């Protein structure tokens, strides 16, 4: 029974993926992020119910029960985080988009690639996403300002990791402040 509980987070992740795919595929929501949240929630609730059911059949102390549920949900949360980023790679990663363009062609020069996918299109997609998510706002004169501090916090965390690991902040383009 305990061996079964050890792999329960994988079952939770399976439910998460199925719910996410079904929710977005059949357009129960148009928002990818809401579909991701729905998947995470269904997987989490199922995992906790499964843990409580199996643990009620075993004779463990309260502390052991709490530790088991904690480790199980923590593992599930990390697996879901990895899945969230995998989904994000398909959604936003330049490398994946470039590979997709090459799959549809029989070899390309850099110029031919730029006809299919280029920085202008990329920035258009990304700025659109940031605007729709309310993270940045654009004035009628075209001036851009930051709206959401939470996302900036995440960006700062990445910069912090860069300083710790790579001993640099970010590319020269930010240092110059454009």
Partner 1 sequence: MISILWSTILVVGALLLHVLVWRIRLPKYQAKALIYCFLSVFFVGLFFNFFLRDKLSSFYLLQSPDQYLSIALFYFATMAAYIITYSAVEVDSPSLLVLLILQNDSDVTLKSIEEDLNDDVLMLPRVADLIRDGLLIQKDDRYYLTSKGRSMGQLFVFFRSCLRAGKGG
User: Which residues, numbered 72-111, are part of the site for partner 1 (CB under 8 A)?
Assistant: 72, 74-75, 78-79, 81-82, 85-87, 89-100, 102-103, 107-110
Structure tokens at 70: 């904690």
Q: How far is the CB of 42 from partner 1 (least distance, A)?
A: 16
Quickly count: other Cβ atoms within 10 Å of residue 51's Cβ. 22
CB of 53 to partner 1, least distance (A): 17
Side-chain-side CA neighbours of residue 111 (13 Å): 0
Of 13-72, binders to partner 1 (CB under 8 A) are: 21, 24-25, 32, 63-64, 67, 70-72
The distance of closest approach from Cβ of residue 125 to partner 1 in the complex, given in angstroms and rounded to an integer, is: 6
Which is closer to partner 1, CB of 52 or CB of 138? 138
Give min distance, CB of 92 to partner 1, in A: 6
The torsion angles phi and psi of 130, rounded to 5 degrees, stand at -65, -40
- DSSP string covering 3-42: HHHHTHHHHHHHHHHHHHHHHHHTTS-S-HHHHHHHHHHH
């Amino acid at each position: 029974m305990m061996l079964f509980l050890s792999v329960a987070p994988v079952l939770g992740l399976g439910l998460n993926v199925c719910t996410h795919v079904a929710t977005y595929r059949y357009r129960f929501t148009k928002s990818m992020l809401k579909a991701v949240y729905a998947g995470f929630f269904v997987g989490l609730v199922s995992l906790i119910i499964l843990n409580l059911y199996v643990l009620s059949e075993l004779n463990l102390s309260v502390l052991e029960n709490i530790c088991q549920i904690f480790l199980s949900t923590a593992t599930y949360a990390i697996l879901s985080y990895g899945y969230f980023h995998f989904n994000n790679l398909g959604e936003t990663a330049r490398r994946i988009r470039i590979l997709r363009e090459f799959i549809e062609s029989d070899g390309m020069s850099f110029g031919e690639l730029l006809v299919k996918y280029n920085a202008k299109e990329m920035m258009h997609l990304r700025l659109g996403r940031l605007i729709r998510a309310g993270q940045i706002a654009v004035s009628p004169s075209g001036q851009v300002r930051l709206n959401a501090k939470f996302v900036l916090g995440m960006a700062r965390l990445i910069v912090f990791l860069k300083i710790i690991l790579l001993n640099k902040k970010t590319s020269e383009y930010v240092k110059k402040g454009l």
